[in-house]
Each structure stands twice: as C-alpha cells, then as structure tokens.
Structure 1
C-alpha cells in the first residue's frame, strides 16, 4: 500500500479553493439572469464531490501525524476504520471528478460568452440593416400620436364652440328666467373673466364635470357643468354639410364636381365655407343684446365688433381627420387639396393623351410624299428646323435633372410605409452601401437613387436605339421621329400626373424607350450633308446639348418653386416641359421634310422634280456586296462603349467630390456649387462646339477629347482645392464637346444610305450601355478603394481608350489630308 500524502495542509488549501470557486460559478447566472438546468446539475454534482472530498480532511490529519505508515497499518492500530480507509482510497478519483466538472463548467461558460457576443453582433447588424424601417415605424408612431392629440384638441374646441352657439341661441329664443338660461349665463360670465378661474371653468365645461354652476349673482345653481355640456349638444344647430363619401358627386355630371372649384376661384364667395349659404354665416357671430338684463352681455360686446366684417377663418385640419367620411367632421374645401383640383388634374391628363392620339393618327394618315424634301437649297432650312426642335427637346429633358432629389424626397414622404416600392428600393440601396469598406453617408441616398434611375434610362435607350434606327431606315426619318415624339408626350404626361413614385418610374421607363431625337438628328444630319461638312453639322447637335444642359436645369429649378397643385408640387415644371414637347412635335410636323435618300429617290423617279441629297446623287446599285470601311462599325461601337463607361462614372461621382472639397472652403451648399461647376462646363462646351469643333476633322476632335479626359481623371485623383476642381471641369468640358460628336461623325461615314439609321442606332445603343453601367461600377470603386485609386484607375482606362483611338481609328478620305 502506498504511503499517505506528505502534504495534507496543501491539500486542505486546494479543497478550500475548490469550494470557493464552486460558489463563484454558482453565483454567475447567464445574461438573462437565469441558469440552465444542465448547468444546475453540474453545479450539484460539483457540490456533492466537494463535500465528499472535504470529509477526508480528518483522515488527512491522521496521515500527517503517522507519516510512513500505510492505511492497512493504521487500520490494524485502530487509528482509522475501514470506512475511513475507503474514503482515503476514493480521494484521487474525487479530485479527478472535481477537476473534470470544473473544466466542463468553464467550457460551457466560454461557449455561452461566445454565443452572447455573436448574438450582440447579429443584433447590431440587423438593426443597422433595418434602420430605415425602424425610422419609418418611429415616424408613424410619432405621426399617430400627433394626430391623436390634435384630434382630441379639436374635439375639446368643438365642445366650446357648441356651448357658445347654444348660449347665443338661448339668448335669442330662450326664456331668460329659466334655470337653463341662468346656468348658461353663469358659465359665460365665468369664462369671460379672463383669468385662471375662467380657464378652470372652461376645462370643467369641456370635461363635463359634476360641479354645480355658479350663477351671475354668485348663487349655486342646480345645473352642473355636465348638464350644460349636454344641453349645448341639444341647442347647437345640426351640421348639414354632407360627409365625404365616394358617391357625393355623380360620375356622369362633371359640372357638379367642377362647381366647387369655380366658387373657390371667385373671391366673392371665398369667405363662405362649403355647404353653407351666406345667410347662415351670420349665425356664427354673437347676436345683438337681447332685453335680458344679464352681466355676460357687456363682457362679450367689449371684445366683439358688430360692424366688423364676418371673415371666414380656415383652421388647418389634420389629414387623419379628413381621410374618412364616417368619423371625421366635414372639412372646408381647399383650393389645393379639393376634389376639384384632382378633377382638373385628371382632365389635363385626358386632354394630353387625346392630343397625342390625334397627332399620331395625323402622322399615319397624311401622305409622306408631300413632306419629301424637294429642293437642295432647303438643306440649311432642315438643319435650322432640326437645331430648334433639338433645343426644345433637350431643354424639356433637362428640366427634371435638378429636381431628382426633391422629387424622390417628396415621393418618400408621400408613402413612408416600409413595404412601399420606393422604401424597398432604399432598403436594397442600403444593403449595397453596407457592402463597402468605407460607409457611404446617408445624405447621398438620393444621389445614388437618382443615378440608378439615370442608369435605367440609359439601359432602356441601349435597347431602343437600334430598333428605332432600323425603323427609320424602313419608314423614313420623319415618321420615326414623330412617332417617337408620341412616346415623349406620354412620358411627360405621366410625370404631370405622377403623385406617387410608381407613376414617376413609369414615366422614366416610357421616356427611355421612346427618346429618339438625338439619334434621329444625327441620322438626318448625315442624310442632308456631304462628308466635307458633316463634322461641322454634327457639332451643332453637340452645341444644342451644351446649351440645353447649361440653361435647362436652371429653368427647371425655378419652375419647381411655383406650386399650383398640392398633390404634385412639381406640376408647373412638368406642364412647361409638356408644352415644349407639344410645341416641338407640332413644329416638326409642320416644318421637317423627309430626308431619307431612298424615299427622296423614289419621289424623284415618280415626279422627276425632286432633287437628291448628297448621298442620293448616285444611287447605289442593287448589288449588296460588302462596303469597304475606313473604320469598322464594330470598332467604333466598342470605343464608344469603353469611353462612356468610365466617363459617365466620372460625371456621376462629381457630387461626391464637390461635397468633400467644398466642406470648409465655402459657405454655399455643395449642390449649389456643383451646379455652378456643371454650368461652367456646359458654357465652355457650347463655345467650343460652336467655334473650334466645327472646323476640326472628326478624328482629331476624338483624339483631343480622350486625351483631355485622361488628364482630367489623373488631375481629379490629386485635386485638393476648388480652383483645381474648376481646371479639371474645364478639361471635362473639352471632352464633352468633342468625343461623342466626333464618333457620331465617323460612324455616319461608315454607313450606307440604306442602313444609316441602324448603324447610328447601334452606335448610340453601345454608348448608352456604357452610360448605364459606368455609374454603378465607378461608384463601387470610388467607395471601396477611395477617390485617388478610383480616378487613377479611370485615368488608366481612358488611356487605354486613347491608345485604341490613336491605333485603330483612321480619318475618312474627305479628311485624310487634314489629319
């Protein structure tokens, strides 16, 4: 038998430490203050094992006194018994069991701590992901609380007005000596005192207290304030104004619905509330003093002027009280929110659609031959008509650009529900923002959503442009352009009626599928000009762009401040935009001839009177063998796509750059200063296109533009002041004035007259595809890698485009010497 341990005192200390650690573990509940049943069982086992181990303390003392003796010797000497020997033998097993249990408890505690930490992080991530929904719920709760308090206040005020009206009726028609009249006079006397007692009396009246009313002479009356409130409801006149229902106005008689709006516009009746005649208005004022000698009359007459005009005062109503006609009190008709205003808005839309349908039928029914260009000298007139119509179209198009933030904020406020379309889009937008290493400030939410709508518009253009170009080759430029104008009219008409985000989104979709003015302008310019003058004429199209983007946004912002319909605060800008589109459509229908060479050739063969365009002087033979190209259309398409991919991303990122640079350098808002930068760029671009670009060969303008764009990228990567930003903007203005115009000119040289519209349509479609993808890709790079890295990568990408322009593009024969 092994000898007893030589260190019983140290073992006693271990027993004590285990006992204390056991009590600490037992005293440590989980995060919710509760302890799991499994942990309780472990603690119970640990306590039992520690008790058994502590029972061997006496044996340890005996062993310490008899060192060198075995347990059997101690049993023989009867210093310990057999049970104590058994306890001593079980001691190592008990120690191992205790250590194992303590280790299990420690492991479970560690696992529980890890899960608590993971739960806290997941809660934080979930709260961050649904912050917009939480804010919307909080806003709804606050709005409901405000509406409830406002409704309660209005009900209290209604009780006061009923009391005053009943008191006036009693003075005029009631018995002055009756207990009821004396009670009313007593309350009036107290309310008119103008002190804290008057306030207390008024509150008792509103609450219908059981306190007895004190008469004018100071005696207590049998009537209580509750009796007076109940009598007020009996004597007050019944409100005969019909409550708002869906069947108030017959749908077959619009004149009835419009009558209310007509009266609202007449100043002679504007002081009378809806549903009440002018004779009834006089009942609202206190009547003249009757023969009753009471004390309340003098007090009332001191504050009421009998000769003053009885003006109707409109009290603002809470929207929650006018949504239903069953529980809410009748609301006075408002000029901005009345059913009549919505009726007018509805008829405006119907009129627009009817006019659009009429124009479409005229375009289809009237013979196209009468609009064929018959005189070669009319080419300048065609260019003039084209430029004027393009200016009208682009100015109308740019009206909406500065309004995107306000429009989206308005639609978001109109429908704050978390499951609305706009808030669902913001939810996905926030998930996209949270993926970046650098968090994007929430003030850029509207900018990002506006960019997404712009990308959607460009993507739809990428699909529609080749189709419209092919249709113009088949049916003529004039008919294709005028048919596309019908879509433009419908798009702007939807904007006029857009009181919610769904309708506004539909207007952008229709506009993206039908916008063809720029594309058709390029095709018409190619039809009516020869190679030597085509570049200069194409520059006029670019100049129209620059002029429109310089002045259009300013006009749109100014018109947005004129509000005529509350349901759509931006209807003024939308109506003016629609007027410009209608004017452009009528102008094109009246003044634009057909310019497609094939149709002009057919007219010449039929009448022998019409002259041909430069490309129709020698009609192509029926041989459809491939035409040799100076620059392959596929190469031009690829370069157009690769150029607009980084360039559109740069344009979209400018608000982020200006916001960071203007902070601390200017007191103006970043949006206003960003508008100045864009206006400066538009002004420089228009000056270049009207002067220098018109005189340069197309290939040289493209080369100058891509080099300038690459320099601006590298410059923006290091810009640190507003002055440097304006220099970079000037370089971008050079790019805007040159590259797209030059590529369109080069593309027109490579197209046969039979498929010129399709070739230019594909060229525009590839460019619009780059413009759709550029903002998304560049914004991701901007917020992942930072401004310097993003613009450096963009500069490298534009340098690759420049290598492609210099290495793969050649000058057409008409400009070979110049280049």
Structure 2
C-alpha cells in the first residue's frame, strides 16, 4: 500500500526507503533507527544482567531446594570428572568449573539459532523476527519467575538462549539504514547499550538482593525475575510500536528454504568459511574469513576470562555480591566513557588499527590480573580490560558489516554473531577448566599468550591497509 508521502507499508509498518530524496532525510531516518535499536538493547540488557550478582546465591538455593534432582546429578558429574583427571579438591575452584558448565549453555544455544534468525530476517524482514525474539525472551523470564526447581530454571535459560537473536538483528538493522561513514556510530551505540546494561543491570540485581526482605527464598528470587519480565515486555511493546521495517521487500532474498540450509549455519567449518554467503569475491571471502577467525579467538579468550573474573575476585579478595556489583559498575562505566567519547568517533578505515590496539592492551591486563595482590593493581587491570571491551568488538563488527549485498548482510552478521556465540559457549568452560586444574595464574597467563594469534592476524590487516593507502 502506497500513501501520498510515498512510504510503502508492510505488515502495518513502514519500510525504510533509503532512496528517498534528501541527504538530511536519510540521516534523520538512520539516526532515529539507531536510537530505537539503542533503547531496545538497553532494556534487553538490563533485564539480562540483573541475574549476574544473584547467580551464586540462586545456585545455592537450588542446591538445597531442587525437587527435580538435576542439580545433584550435575554436581556429581563434576565431582567424578575431578577425580578422573586428578584436579585438586578445592571447593571454590569446583564452583568455578560448575559455573562454567552452566554459563556455557546459554551461548551454545545462541550459537545454534543466531545465524538462522539472521538468514530468516533476510527473507521475511527484520521487524517480524525481532518481535518473535522478544516474545521468546519475555517467555524465558516468565518461566524463571515461576520456576520451583533447577530443571525449570534451566528450561528458562534454554528458551532465552534460543531467542537471543535480537543482538545480531540489531546490527543488521543498523547496517540496513546507515552509510559506511555513519555505520561506526550505530555500532558504537550498540556498544554503549551493552555498557549501560552491564553498569546498571548487576547493580540493580545487587540492590534487589539487599532490599528484598522475603523470608521464602523462592519468592525472593521471583522478584528479580519479575523485574526482568517487566523490562522484556516493555521492550516488546516498544519494538512493536516504534520499530519500522528496515529491509524493503525488493531487497529481500526470495528463497524460503532457510531451514534446509541450517546445517551450514551450525556447522563450525561452514561458519568459519561463511559458506552460506554466495556472492562475495574470492578476495572479499578471504577477508571475511580472517575477520571471523580473529573475532572467534579474541572472544574465546575474552569471554572465558571475563566469566572467571567474579570467581577470581571472590577467591583472592573475598568479594561479596555487592562488591561484585560495584566491580561490574566500574567496568561498565569505563566502557561507556570510552565508547561514547572515543569509539563512536573512530574515522572509517581506522577500525583495524584501533582493534589491534585493544587486543594489545588486553594482554598486559590479563598478566596484571594473574599476579595482582591488591585491589589497586586489580582495578588498573580492569581499566585496561574495559578499554579493550569498548573498542575491539565494535571495530570488528563495523569491519564485517561492510561486506555483502543488502540481501546478505543479515546472513553475514548472523554468522559473525554465531561465531561469537560459539566462542562464548566454549570460552567459559575452557577458562573454568584451566582455573580449576591449575589455578588462576596459569589461566590468565595462558589467555594472554593465546591472544598473540588474533593480534598477528589483525596486524597483517593493518599493514595491508597501510600499503593500500600509501599507493592511493
């Protein structure tokens, strides 16, 4: 249906017409979509991070009150594995490994579904898939709120992991409506949303745990779940009302057989080769594959050591959940400052160089974490860690978003995010296993050394770009 203004409506919402006259009109539309995506992600990430400071206590609750018996089955399995490999019987280190196994579940499911959601959005549009994701996320919090056993809680995490394709869709939406010059701003806003979520979400969770006076532990943990559910429902309504379709019908893929290609989206070999993307040149395909490998290795190390960080603070400095919340606040605050004041102003073409700086800074950060004997040294390490957190992923995401046609960007971004989810699925388990077997020093030093691999790859890209700019 076409109105006098020339807007083409689809499913009751206007498609973004990027060919409309006037550069100012295009800029206003892209900025509006940027901030809609930003607001949606803030709501989503606040809801998602509320649980972080509560998880240890929540697991303690289920260890004593699990009618399903699943918690004890998993605990016995971990104890059996410890005996098999001869790891030290350290109760705190055991909790690191057990937490790593639980923490990997969510990202593993996100890995399996994210590229399929991205590819489906290339066929059916971004908006309907975004709405479906938000419905699933809200349902996961509802299941958590009514859970009376560890099994029900795990089901809630499963539903949430399957539905967590909204982040890859957000990056695809930013790519749809932005020029190469403005794309970095949109990606930086996504990064700022993550910072806000990780600044205030854990703090809200810690605040709820302090203010909550319920005698029944099950009721006490229901309250943060209901808070997350409220935010998720608000996000769903916000998306339904304000988000316009950003992929016009004439730019969508015609194939409806998305599920028939699912094996390519969950096969790690196919993912690293970006096999589902058919229209890239050989040179472009090589660059995309290199970026995918850099992103995977970086996030594998980063997510693993990030996951063990609260356990390290608890083990070495006896941090409480409130102190953990303050630590997350500090990390997110520094990230927000860097992203808002620095990352969003990075000039096009400089992303590889800035990403290399971020990886380089992260290596001494992990070395400091390994040997820090005071909170002052630890917070110096956390400051360096925050700079890397604020720069590397936004820069790599901006780089990968420049490849592919309009009808394949969703697939590329879905695969890219899926590689990140794969890294986040196995990174925490790897780091937790090393921590559990050899202690925190070996864990963090090993992580710093492995980062030499993506550092070398990104350095080659920076060098190649420097040569091209010299001859231009």
TM-score, length-scaled by structure 2: 0.83
Give the Cα–Cα distance (whole angstroms) in 1 for the partners of residues 36 and 185 of structure 2. 16
Q: Do 2:202 and 2:328's aligned partners in 1 also have CA atoms closer than 8 Å?
A: no
Of 311, 314, 332, 1:682 maps to: 332
Aligned to 2:259: none
Give the Cα–Cα distance (whole angstroms) in 2 for the partners of residues 534 and 480 of structure 1. 22
Q: Do 1:564 and 1:571's aligned partners in 2 also have CA atoms closer than 8 Å?
A: no
Counterpart check, 1:629 vs 2:284: yes
Give the Cα–Cα distance (whole angstroms) in 2 for the partners of residues 816 and 733 of structure 1. 30
Q: Do 1:398 and 1:549's aligned partners in 2 also have CA atoms closer than 8 Å?
A: yes
Aligned to 1:658: 313
Give the Cα–Cα distance (whole angstroms) in 1 for the partners of residues 86 and 219 of structure 2. 39
Of 16, 26, 50, 1:373 maps to: 16
Q: How does 1:412-561 map to 2 (within 5 A)?
A: 412-415=63-66, 420-435=69-84, 439-560=88-209, 561=211
Q: How does 1:762-777 map to 2 (within 5 A)?
A: 762-777=415-430
After superposing the two structures, state which structure 1 stretch, 790-799 or 460-469, moved more. 790-799
Aligned to 2:268: none
Aligned to 1:797: 450
1:562 deviates by 3.0
1:626 deviates by 3.7
- 1:446–1:789: structure 2 CA closer, same or farther, 3 Å change rule? closer
Q: Do 1:458 and 1:512's aligned partners in 2 also have CA atoms closer than 8 Å?
A: yes
Q: Do 1:703 and 1:802's aligned partners in 2 also have CA atoms closer than 8 Å?
A: yes
1:431 deviates by 2.2
Give the Cα–Cα distance (whole angstroms) in 2 for the partners of residues 711 and 652 of structure 1. 18
Of 389, 394, 398, 1:745 maps to: 398
Q: Do 2:202 and 2:329's aligned partners in 1 also have CA atoms closer than 8 Å?
A: no
- 1:656–1:386: structure 2 CA closer, same or farther, 3 Å change rule? closer
Q: C-alpha deviations, 1:247-287, integer Å up to 9, x for none?
A: xxxxxxxxxxxxxxxxxxxxxxxxxxxxxxxxxxxxxxxxx
Q: C-alpha deviations, 1:484-504, integer Å up to 9, x for none?
A: 111112111111111111111
Q: C-alpha deviations, 1:576-606, integer Å up to 9, x for none?
A: 211111111111111110111555799xxxx
Q: Do 2:359 and 2:388's aligned partners in 1 also have CA atoms closer than 8 Å?
A: yes
- 1:465–1:816: structure 2 CA closer, same or farther, 3 Å change rule? farther
- 1:711–1:742: structure 2 CA closer, same or farther, 3 Å change rule? same
1:512 deviates by 0.3
Of 27, 32, 36, 1:385 maps to: 36
Aligned to 2:22: none
Give the Cα–Cα distance (whole angstroms) in 2 for the partners of residues 449 and 472 of structure 1. 36
1:630 deviates by 8.3
Give the Cα–Cα distance (whole angstroms) in 1 for the partners of residues 325 and 154 of structure 2. 25
Counterpart check, 1:402 vs 2:57: no
Q: Do 2:92 and 2:315's aligned partners in 1 also have CA atoms closer than 8 Å?
A: no
1:436 deviates by 5.6
Of 270, 281, 294, 1:639 maps to: 294
Runs (5+) with no aligned partner, structure 1: 1-365, 603-622, 664-668
1:569 deviates by 2.5
Q: Do 1:399 and 1:577's aligned partners in 2 also have CA atoms closer than 8 Å?
A: yes
1:706 deviates by 0.6
- 1:707–1:570: structure 2 CA closer, same or farther, 3 Å change rule? same
- SS for the counterpart of 2:220 is coil
- SS for the counterpart of 2:307 is helix
TM-score, length-scaled by structure 1: 0.49
Q: How does 1:750-765 map to 2 (within 5 A)?
A: 750-765=403-418
Give the Cα–Cα distance (whole angstroms) in 2 for the partners of residues 537 and 386 of structure 1. 9
Q: Do 1:655 and 1:671's aligned partners in 2 also have CA atoms closer than 8 Å?
A: no
Give the Cα–Cα distance (whole angstroms) in 1 for the partners of residues 280 and 171 of structure 2. 25
1:455 deviates by 0.5
Aligned to 1:728: 381
Give the Cα–Cα distance (whole angstroms) in 1 for the partners of residues 249 and 298 of structure 2. 33
Runs (5+) with no aligned partner, structure 2: 1-8, 18-24, 254-277
Q: Do 1:563 and 1:571's aligned partners in 2 also have CA atoms closer than 8 Å?
A: no
Aligned to 1:355: none
Give the aligned CA root-mean-square deviation in angstroms.
Answer: 2.8
Aligned to 1:145: none
Between 1 and 2, higher relative CO (CA 8 Å, sep ≥ 6) is seen in 2
Q: Do 2:34 and 2:174's aligned partners in 1 also have CA atoms closer than 8 Å?
A: yes
Q: Kindly tell me the number of residue pairs found equivalent between the two proteins.
A: 425
- 1:444–1:717: structure 2 CA closer, same or farther, 3 Å change rule? closer
- SS for the counterpart of 1:745 is helix
1:636 deviates by 1.5
- 1:731–1:573: structure 2 CA closer, same or farther, 3 Å change rule? same
Q: Answer 1 or 2: which has greater helix percent.
A: 2
Q: Do 1:632 and 1:750's aligned partners in 2 also have CA atoms closer than 8 Å?
A: no
Give the Cα–Cα distance (whole angstroms) in 1 for the partners of residues 296 and 279 of structure 2. 29
Q: Do 1:383 and 1:525's aligned partners in 2 also have CA atoms closer than 8 Å?
A: yes
Give the Cα–Cα distance (whole angstroms) in 1 for the partners of residues 465 and 212 of structure 2. 51
Aligned to 1:784: 437
